[in-house]
Amino acid sequence: MSLSADQMELREEEIRAHYEAAAAMLEGIDHTPRIATPKEGASSAPERSPGIATRRRFRSTTPGLVTRSTARPEGVRLVERIEQADDGDPLVSPTQATVLHALRRAVSIALATGEAFCEATGLVALKKENLQGSLPDARKTEFSELLAAEALAVMYTFGNATSFLLASSASEASVEIGAVEEVLTDNAPLALHGCLWELDQELAAFGDAEPKLVATVMAYAEQLMEKVALRAQTAPRVGAFSGAKYRVEADDFTIAGFTPALKAKGTTLVMQFKKPNEVVGNHIAKYQAMRLAKMIMAYDFDRKLNPFVDLGGFIFTFMGDGKPGTGKTTLIQMMAGLVSEYCSVAGYPFRYQNFGIDNIDSYQGKSGQNAKSFISNVLDPNVIGFGTVDDIDQIAGKRGDRQSSAGQQEVTAVLMEAFAGANTVVRGNCTFGMFSNYPENVDDALRQRAGARFLVDGPQTRDDYIDILYLLMGKNHSLPLGDHEAYAAQEIKKAVAASFEGHSKPHEDGLAKVFDRVQDEIGELDTIAKVGRYLKAIQEADPRFTGRSIKNITDAVKVRAMDFELPDEWMETPELFLFKPYEDKLAMISELRRPITMDMLIQEVNRYADSEFRYADKSDEVAIEGMVRDYERQEEAKRRYLEGKG
């Protein structure tokens, strides 16, 4: 991959020049902890077998930068620590070798990045003046601030590179190490010593077996990046690092300030996929999910953009709502299965992740961190991503709701910023689906960030119920089907056309009254001006119907203009479409685009407004029922109290 215009190359010879120093650090350093407290039983280096020579220890030789301490220094020998993570096997395992090579490479990249920072900021000259004793008093503050900024850049790069290089070796094992403490900013060498000392402590506590080795190192790297990035928010003179991009070509690794780099690695899905014919009913939701699965595949990895985003027909976020048991999980299984199959044929990395109730943590800030990690993993521009938030009403709390936990409120804030915040960039490589049985319990602003609405209402017709019974019975029986053609009613185009046509008039009673009143006043809604008056009338009936609602409606209309099926051959033979240049994809899709009609606009207004009225009616009814139950309990309590006194 070639360098982009905003990237600078970290040359391989510059990185390899630090290999010897990096290896010496891993073999042995002396470090006196400043902030962190040594873990019990991990303060000393592991004992070595008799007769084995002691490896050399690394001590910084940078004059004027080493600070003194009266505390006793501790020996840190990471190589030995890692080699002993397999019950004393005298041979180094492939996993241990991978970790050691990754750490040496990460330290070398961090040191090379520190040098680049020094060159860019003039810190090199200040260091020379300081060594010569000729540093002016007026520049000592600047010198100290630049040393601290270099230390932050080096520490973050070390954590970033370690996490990136070990990503492909990660397993299902996970380790919770807690917050990183030994973050030192006196100078870069001391900062790295602190990092290696604390990593050694964590390995002693958690990396006692080989399956946990990679997990412990990666957990430490992630916590280190988080702590350093937080410190960098208020640190002076870090702009030369945060505003720069460095490229390590050999590792396909990009350093973009205090932003983690993600490995283009898919996830191995353990999921029971469903075929489209196994989704009974839910015609519009199924049709849109099938089209969205193909839309995502149009993403161009070189341009980091999807033609459907350019043309205005991409669904970045959607909400699927319906009663329990109507098929929301089946819809997720169908869409994930389709995208996974398409990616397998094209050789694209596919990453699916669900954010569930188990991601809500009692520790302050942890739930928000989990949500940010979920968003970042799915947004990774180097993969095709599909993220779901099932039962979002239980996971994301309503703002101002005293029954919502702090963790739920954190998740709401993160999702709102990610889905339609000031820094949201839609590339078209991923989509997020929120699903709920009770969408009325979702925060209004978060719910309105769902650009598309999938009503998952399950089987509706007699044929639907016959089809679902026939499907679930399976094949291990000899019961006759009878006078019925299995799955004929599920023919997607015919069913979808009928479903869209059904939205020419509103379904919810409250919206139907508004619709009829407006038509009585101004006649048929056949111009944009008349539809605008209809929208204003909806807003007067429901103040939550805002400008964001109008945007979601117009986005849905643009999606309808893309109401065509990308040919299956394009997915089955990638050379026909997926592997073509971006401009060719854009032209091929443009040729299939349909004209926008007034019927489309009316149907999408009604579809969206129906959902809002449905949520509002349910929300109000739930609130009223709750108040009624409270009054009834108060009356019963009062009656029993008076009877007891009598």
- 3-state SS string for 547-560: HHHHHHHHHHHHHH
CA 117 to chain centre: 30
Structure tokens at 180: 């990183």
**Triad 411, 325, 438: Cα angle to 5°:** 40
Distance (Å) of CA 42 to CA 24, 199, 202, 205, 207? 21, 11, 8, 7, 11
Mean pLDDT of 219-231: 92
CB-based contact 182:36 (threshold 8 Å): yes
Looking at residue 179, the DSSP 8-state letter turns out to be: -
Strand partners for 386: 352, 431
Whole-number Å distance between alpha carbons of 53 and 66: 28
Q: How far apart are CA 70 and CA 580, in angstroms?
A: 65
Name 143's Cβ contacts closer than 8 Å, sequence gap at least 6: 123, 126, 130, 135
CB 222 within 8 A of CB 184: no
Domains of the chain, by residue range, sit at 1-32+99-262, 276-624
Beta bridge partners of 454: 320
Three-state DSSP at 453 gives strand
Q: What are phi and psi of 191, to 5 degrees?
A: -60, -45
Least confident of 36-45, 208-217, 290-299, 605-614: 36-45
Asked whether residue 456 carries a pLDDT value surpassing 80, the answer given is no
456 to each of 271, 288, 289, how far by Cα in Å? 20, 12, 11
DSSP string, 568-589: HHHHHSGGGTTTS-HHHHHHHH
Average pLDDT over residues 236-242: 92
The vertex-461 CA angle with 455 and 465, nearest 5°, equals 100
User: In the 3-class helix/strand/coil scheme, how is 307-351 assigned residue by residue?
Assistant: HHHHHCCCCCEEEEECCCCCCHHHHHHHHHHHHHHHHHHHCCCEE
The vertex-607 CA angle with 340 and 515, nearest 5°, equals 175
C-alpha–C-alpha distance, residues 114 and 21, integer Å? 14
What's the mean pLDDT in 79-106?
86
Report which listed range, 148-152, 348-352, 416-420, 489-493, is most confident.
148-152
Residue 510 has phi, psi (to 5 degrees) of: -60, -40
Q: What is the mean pLDDT of residues 573-584?
A: 92
Measure CA of the first residue to CA of the last residue in the chain; give whole Å: 87
Burial label for 16, CB within 10 Å (0-12, 13-18, 19+), is middle
Which of these, 508, 504, 514, lies nearest to 617 by C-alpha position? 508
Question: What pLDDT was estimated at residue 507?
Answer: 84
Tell me which H or E stretch contains 455: strand 452-455
- Calculate the alpha carbon distances from 379 to 146, 172, 228, 337, 351 in Å: 33, 21, 22, 19, 10
Q: Is the pLDDT of residue 525 over 70?
A: yes
CATH placement of domain 276-624: 3.40.50.300
Rounded Cα distance, 547 and 627, in Å: 32
Q: What is the mean pLDDT of residues 356-367?
A: 80
Backbone angles phi, psi at 128, to 5 degrees: -65, -45
Whole-number Å distance between alpha carbons of 350 and 265: 7
Q: Which residue has the higher pLDDT, 287 or 196?
A: 196
Name the least confident of 10-19, 84-93, 532-541. 84-93
Please give the share of the chain, as a percent, with pLDDT higher than 70.
86
pLDDT one-digit tens code per residue, 495-515: 566 667 777 888 888 889 999
- Measured in whole angstroms, the distance separating CA 567 from the mean position of its chain's CA atoms is 30
pLDDT value at residue 291? 85
Query: What whole-number percentage of the chain has pLDDT above 90?
Result: 31
384 within 8 A of 299, measured Cβ to Cβ? yes
Are the C-beta atoms of residues 153 and 10 closer than 8 Å to each other?
A: no
Q: Facing residues of 256 across strands? A: 245, 259
Sequence-distant (≥ 6) Cβ neighbours of residue 91 within 8 angstroms: none
Q: Of 154 and 273, which is predicted with more confidence? A: 154
Q: Which residues of 283-296 are buried (b: 16+ CB within 10 A; e: fewer)?
A: bbbbbbbbbbbbbb
Beta carbons of 246 and 254 less than 8 angstroms apart: yes
Per-residue pLDDT of 543-568, as tens digits, reads 888 888 888 888 888 877 776 778 88
Residue 205, classed as helix, strand or coil, is helix
pLDDT, average across residues 235-247: 91
Whole-angstrom Cα distance, residue 637 to residue 457?
Answer: 40
Range of lowest pLDDT (84-93, 250-259, 334-343): 84-93
Closest C-alpha to 589, from 571, 568, 564: 564
pLDDT higher than threshold 90 for residue 537: yes
pLDDT for 7 equals: 76
d(CA 240, CA 9): 15
Whether the Cβ atoms of residue 225 and residue 159 lie closer than 8 Å to each other: yes
- Residue 52's pLDDT is 41
Structure tokens at 469: 């019974």
Q: Helix, strand or coil for residue 430? A: strand
Averaged pLDDT for residues 464-490: 77
Residues in the chain: 646
Helix (H) or strand (E) holding 29: strand 29-31
The per-residue pLDDT for 228 is: 94
**Contact (CB, 8 A) for 156 and 122:** no
Query: Which secondary-structure segment (H or E) carries 245?
Result: strand 245-248
How far is Cα 346 from Cα 181, in angstroms, rounded to an integer? 44
CA–centroid distance for 348 within its chain: 18
pLDDT band at 493 (very low <50, low <70, confident <90, very high): low
Q: Reply yes or no on whether the pLDDT at 135 is more than 60.
A: yes
C-alpha closest to that of 447 among 624, 614, 625: 614
Least confident of 286-290, 379-383, 586-590: 286-290
pLDDT (tens digit, 9 = 90+) per residue, 48-79?
Answer: 444 444 444 444 444 444 444 444 456 889 99
List all residues 6 or more positions away from 141 whose beta carbon is below 8 Å from its beta carbon: none
pLDDT at 625: 72
Residue 186 has pLDDT above 90, yes or no: yes
| Tokens coding 82 | 């890692």
- The one-letter code for the residue type at 348 is Y
25-47 residue pLDDT tens: 999 999 989 988 887 666 554 44
